[in-house]
Amino acid sequence: MNGPQPFVFEAGVEVKRYAPATERNRDVIAETLVNVLPAQGLVLEIASGTGEHAVHFAQLFQGLTWQPSDPDPLAIASINAWRGDCAVANVRSAMLLDASADWPIAHADAVVCINMAHISPWAATVGL
């Protein structure tokens, strides 16, 4: 396959994914989030993918609880593996969430969606 791989996988009890782009973009994204997120509360992350952003931002924004989500069970396993390895208390267990369907959450103080609209079905973007 030509070009960079979007994910790198690590086999184990759970499949932990790495997205090389995360290390390149997480600090720039954090610079924006610091200006728009509340100081405290619950942040729902839609399409959390690997889980790397969730644990990174939870470490930076310790007054916030991060709720990662994704419609892909393999992504859920990766998110939870990152959560377990980084031992961050303010990241909840990942939830299955399809943005095009009913959302299984009643309240969030902020919603963050970093990497979804350009790779998902149009119905997910409309749902967002």
Residue 86 lies in a domain: yes
DSSP β-ladder status, 110-113 and 41-46 = parallel
Residues 6+ apart with CB under 8 A from 111: 43, 44, 45, 46
Hey, how many other C-beta atoms are within 10 angstroms of the C-beta on 55?
23
Residue 35 lies in a domain: yes
Over range 86-106, report the average pLDDT. 94
96 is in which domain, residue-wise? 8-127
DSSP β-ladder status, 41-46 and 16-18 = unpaired
pTM of the model: 0.86
Q: How confident is the model at residue 117 (pLDDT cuts 50, 70, 90)?
A: confident
More confident residue, 32 or 18: 32
* Domain CATH number, residue 92: 3.40.50.150
